[in-house]
Amino acid sequence: MELIRIHDYLWEIPKQGPMLVPGRIYANARMIDELRDDPALVQVANVACLPGIVGYSLAMPDIHWGYGFPIGGVAAIDARAGVISPGGVGYDINCGVRLIRTNLRYPDVESRVDQLADTLFDTIPAGVGSEGAIPGLSVEEMKQLVVEGAHWALRTGYATREDLDHTEEGGRLAGADPEKVSVFAYNRGRKQIGTLGSGNHFLELSRVDRIYEPRVAAALGLEADQVTVLIHSGSRGLGHQTCDDYLRMIGQAMAKYEITLPDRQLAAVPIVSPEGQAYLGAMAAAANFAWCNRQVMMHLAGRAFMQALGVGPRELGFSLIYDVCHNIAKFEEHEIGGQKRMVCVHRKGATRAFGPGNPALPESLRALGQPVFIPGDMGRYSFVLIGLPAAMRETFGSSCHGAGRVKSRTQAKKEARGRDLYAELRALGVTVRAQSRAGVAEEMPAAYKDVAEVVEVMEAAGVTQRVARLKPFAVIKG
C-alpha cells in the first residue's frame, strides 16, 4: 500500500483504481511502520470507493481491522447523492462513553474500594446476555423507549434534565422509526436496559491524576485526585440484531441500485432509497436505546455509591460531564471545497470532536469545544480531550475513540494462560470485578496500544487537546 507523508502525523493513500477520494491515516512514524501490511489500510482504501464520499476516507490512530470499515474509520458522504453503509456504523450501534464527576477525592474511598466495587458489580448486570436491571419491557413499551431515548429515563425517574443537556444529541437522535426494528431485536433488548454487556465494555472508577489544561478542566468540573466514573457500553442485543438485519437486507438490495464495491462487508444503498431510509430509522432507534441504557446505568451507579459509602446525593455530587457516541452515522453540515454541504458522517470507532462555538454543543460547553473521552486499557489511564477548530477543517469534527487493539481476543487469551491477571492488575492499583476470567484475559492491558501515544497524535495534528488524565483504581467488566 503506497503511503505519502503529509506531515509527521498524517499519511495519505493516493486516489487510485476505484477510489473516489484519497485515504488519510492519522499516525506517527512508528505506528505507520506497524500498519504497512495491515489489512485495515486496505479497508481505508475500500471505504474511499463508496458512492458520494467527499474529501477523504479517514482513519484515526487507534485504527484496527473491523467489519467493512476499519475501526477508527470516518467517512462523510453526500446526503443527497451518496450511500449509507451499516459497516460504517458497526454492530454495536451508538457504543459510547460517558464521564461522571463526583465530589469525592481518592483518599475518601481508598480504604473502601473493594466494598464499592462489590456493590457496583451487584447493582449493574454485566456479561454476555446480562439482564435484569429493569424488569423486562413489552415490545410496545420498547417502541416508545427507542423513540424517546434518554428522555424515557427522565420520564421514569432515571435521569435529570441536566443529564440530557450534557448528552450528545440530548440523548435522542431524531428520525427513529420503531416500526423498522424487528420484533426479534426488541426481544433481544427488552430486558437489557441498564446492563453493561461484555467484550470491551466496562464501568471504570478513576481518579484525576494529571491536569493539562486547568482552565478547561475547571470548566468541566474536574480537579486533581477527584473520583470519576467512566461508563462504556452500547445498544446491546437490540443494536447487534438491527445491524445484522440490515446488513442482510442492504446486501441483497445493492444489485437493484447497480452498486459494486470491493468488499461485500461495505454493503451500501442510496441514503434516499427506501432501504436506506429504513436503516436510518432503525439505527436511530438503536442509538436511542444505547443512550437510555447508559443513562440508567449512571443512575444505578450513583445509587451504588451512596449505598456502599453511606453518603447522600449532595455529598456525592454525582453529575454527568458529557456522553459521547462512537459508532453512529449523523447528518451534519461541513465546509467542503469552500462550500457548506450536508453530509452523512459515518463514525465507526471514532468520536465527534466539534470545536468551540458549534451550536450542536450545549450552551455550558459551547465556548470550550466538545469533550472527548478516550478510554485506555484497564491497567494504565484514560484521557479527557477537547475538540479544536482544526477538527472541523480536517476530520469532519472527528477524533479517535480508544487505545486500539494490538492483539486479537484469541491471542490475548492464549498469552494469559497460567497468569494471575487479577493479581497483576492489583499490583497496578486496579481492583477488578468480572463475570469471567476469560473476559479479563481478552481485555488484558497488553492487548491494547498505549492510549497516551494515540491521543498525542491527535493533539500534535491539532485535532484535539488533552485536558486531563484519569487513572483507574476499580473496573467492572462482563
Residue among 383, 402, 401 at smallest CA distance from 468: 383
pLDDT per position in the chain (478 positions), as tens? 899 999 999 999 999 999 999 999 999 999 999 999 899 999 999 999 999 999 999 999 999 999 999 999 999 999 999 999 999 999 999 999 999 999 999 999 999 999 999 999 999 988 787 788 888 899 999 999 999 999 999 999 999 999 999 999 999 999 999 999 999 999 999 999 999 988 889 999 999 999 999 999 999 999 999 999 999 999 999 999 999 999 999 999 999 999 999 999 999 999 999 999 999 999 999 999 999 999 999 999 999 999 999 999 999 999 999 999 999 999 999 999 899 999 999 999 999 999 999 999 999 999 999 999 999 999 999 999 999 999 999 999 999 999 988 899 999 999 999 999 999 999 999 999 998 898 899 999 999 999 999 999 999 999 999 999 999 999 999 7
The residue ranges of DSSP E strands in 187-251, in sequence order, are: 202-211, 226-233
- Identify the active-site residue in 232, 240, 346, 401: 401
User: At CA 33, angle to CA 28 and CA 34, rounded to 5?
Assistant: 100
Q: Measured on CA atoms in the order 419, 420, 426, 432, is the torsion positive or negative?
A: positive
Within 10 angstroms of residue 420's Cβ, the number of other Cβ atoms is: 11
Antiparallel, parallel or unpaired: β 398-399 and 351-352:
antiparallel
Q: Which residues sit opposite 12 in a β-bridge?
A: 4, 24
Q: Which residues of 278-314 are buried (b: 16+ CB within 10 A; e: fewer)?
A: bbbbbbbbbbbbbbbbbbbbbbbbbbbbbebbebeee
Q: In this predicted structure, what is the pLDDT of residue 369?
A: 96
Answer whether 442's CB lies under 8 Å from 477's CB.
no
Task: State how far the Cα of 391 lies from the Cα of 394, in Å rounded to an integer.
Answer: 5
Residue 334 — φ and ψ, nearest 5°?
Answer: -135, 150
DSSP 333-356: EEEETTEEEEEEEEEES-EE---T
Q: Which three cell numbers stand for residue 272?
A: 434516499
- Distance of CA 242 to CAs 22, 74, 181, 288, Å? 31, 21, 6, 13
d(CA 382, CA 294): 18
Q: What is the pLDDT of residue 88?
A: 98
User: Shortest CA distance to 286 belongs to which of 245, 317, 225, 251?
Assistant: 245
Q: C-alpha angle with apex 340: 10 to 77, nearest 5 degrees?
A: 60
According to the model, what pLDDT value does residue 130 have? 79
Residues 6 or more apart whose CB falls under 8 angstroms from that of 341 comprise 54, 78, 79, 333, 334, 335
Please tell me the predicted confidence (pLDDT) of residue 4.
97
How many beta carbons lie within 10 A of that of residue 33, not counting itself?
Answer: 10
> Is 7 noted as a catalytic residue in this protein?
no
End-to-end CA distance of the chain: 38
What residues does each domain of the chain span?
4-477
Q: What is the pLDDT of residue 199?
A: 85
C-alpha closest to that of 421 among 444, 394, 404: 444
* pLDDT reported for residue 361: 94
Helix boundaries (H) for 310-323: 313-316
Question: Cell for 36?
Answer: 504497512
Q: How many residues are present in the chain?
A: 478
For residue 71, give the H/E element and its range: strand 71-78
For 377, the 3-state DSSP assignment is coil
pLDDT at res. 478:
78
Q: What is the pLDDT, as a whole number, of residue 337?
A: 87
The architecture (CATH level 2) of 4-477 comes to Alpha-Beta Complex (3.90)
